[in-house]
Amino acid sequence: MGARVLLVEDEANILEAISFLLSRDGWEVHGHGNGGTALETIARLKPDVVVLDVMLPGRSGLDILRDLRADPATERLPVLMLTAKGQAKDRDMALALGANAYLTKPFSNAEMLETLRHVADPDGDPSSTGSTP
Partner 1 sequence: MLSFDGLVAVCIVYVAGLFWVAFWVEKRASEGRARWLNSPLVYTLSLSIYTTAWTFYGAVGSAARSGLEFMTIYLGPTLVFIGWFWLLRKLVRIGRAQRITSIADMISSRYGKSGGLAALVTVLAVIGTTPYIALQLQSVTLSFSVFARPGALGAPDAESTAIWVAGGLALFTIVFGTRSLDVNERHPGLVSAIALEAVVKLFALLAVGAFVVWGVASGPADILARVEESSMADWKSNGARWVGITMLSAAAIVCLPRMFQVLVVENSDERHLATASWAFPLYLFLMSLFVIPIAVVGLQQMPAGANPDLFVLTLPLELGQGGLALLAFLGGFSAATSMVIVAALALSTMVSNHIIVPLWMRATEGENPMSGDMRRVALMARRLSIGGVLALGLIYYRLSGGTEALASIGLIAFLGVAQVLPALLGGLFWRGATRAGAAAGIGVGFLIWGWVLLVPNAATAGLMQGVLENGPFGIAWLRPATPLGLDGTDPLLTAMVMSLGANTFAFILGSLVTFPSPMERLMGAQFVNVYDHSQAPLAWKGSAGTADDLLTMAQRILGAGRAARLFREAAAGQGRQTQLPEPTPDFLEQLERELAGSVGAATANAMVGQITGGASVSVRDLLAVADETAQMMEYSSQLEAKSAELAQTAARLREANQKLTELSVQKDAFLSQISHELRTPMTSIRAFSEILMQGDALDAAGRQRFSRIIHDESLRLTRLLDDLLDLSVLEDGRVSLNMADTTLGDVLDRAENATSALEEGARLTIRRDKGAEDVPLWTDADRLAQVFINLISNAQKYCDAEAPELTISVHRLPGRVEVEFADNGSGIPPRQHSLIFEKFARADTAREAPGAGLGLAISREIMQRLGGGLTLVPGQSGATFRVRLPARALRAA
When asked if residue 57 is in the footprint of partner 1 (CB under 8 A), the reply is yes
Q: How far apart are CA 25 and CA 27, in angstroms?
A: 6
* Angle (CA) 86 103 52, round 5°: 105
Query: Terminus-to-terminus CA distance in the chain, angstroms?
Result: 15
Q: How far apart are CA 53 and CA 11, in angstroms?
A: 9
13 binds partner 1 (CB under 8 A): yes
- Does position 86 bind partner 1 by CB under 8 A? yes
11 binds partner 1 per the rule CB under 8 A? yes
Choices 43-51, 81-89, 93-101, 124-132; region in contact with partner 1 by CB under 8 A: 81-89
Task: Indicate the burial class of 109 (C-beta count within 10 angstroms; 0-12, 13-18, 19 or more).
Answer: middle
Q: Does 38 bind partner 1 (CB under 8 A)?
A: no
109 binds partner 1 (CB under 8 A): yes
Question: Distance of CA 55 to CAs 4, 73, 99, 114, 117, Å?
Answer: 23, 24, 15, 23, 23
33 part of the interface to partner 1, by CB under 8 A: yes
Binding to partner 1 in span 60-79, by CB under 8 A: none
**Contact window for partner 1 (CB under 8 A) among 9-17, 65-73, 91-99, 124-132:** 9-17
Residues that bind partner 1 (CB under 8 A): 10-11, 13-14, 16-18, 20-21, 24, 33, 55-58, 84-87, 104-109, 112
